[in-house]
Amino acid sequence: MTAQPVYHQGWKLEDVRWDAFDPAAVDPTLLAAIKAAALVEYNAPDYVTYLKRVFRDAGSRTLGDIERWGAEESQHGRALGRWAETADPQFSLEDAFARFRKGYSPAHFNDLDAEGSVRGSRRAEMVARCVVESGTSSYYSAIRDATDEPVLKEIAGRIAADEYRHYKLFYDTLHRQDEPEMSFWRKLWVAVTRVRESDDDELAYAYYCANVPADQEAARPYDRATYSRLAARTGMTIYRRQHIQRLVQMVAKVVGANPHGLLANWGGALLWRVMQRKAASAA
Which tens digit of pLDDT belongs to each residue from 175-205? 999 999 999 999 999 999 888 776 578 899 9
DSSP-assigned letter for residue 9 = T
SS (H, E, C) 75-134: HHHHHHHHHHHHHCCCCCHHHHHHHHHHHCCCHHHHCCCCCCCCCCCHHHHHHHHHHHHH
Q: Are 217 and 100 in contact (CB under 8 A)?
A: no
Domain of 75, in residue numbers: 26-282
pTM of the entire structure?
A: 0.92
Angle between helix 201-211 and 93-103 (nearest 10): 140
- Rg (the chain; Cα; Å): 19
DSSP three-state, residue 194 = helix
Q: Is residue 251 part of a domain?
A: yes
| Number of structural domains in the chain | 1
Q: Is residue 10 part of a domain?
A: no
> What's the Cα-to-Cα distance from 136 to each of 38, 56, 201, 274, rounded to whole Å?
12, 26, 17, 18
* pLDDT tens-digit readout, 68-88: 999 999 999 999 999 999 999
Q: Is residue 11 part of a domain?
A: no
The CATH number linked to 82 is 1.10.620
For residue 109, is pLDDT > 70? no
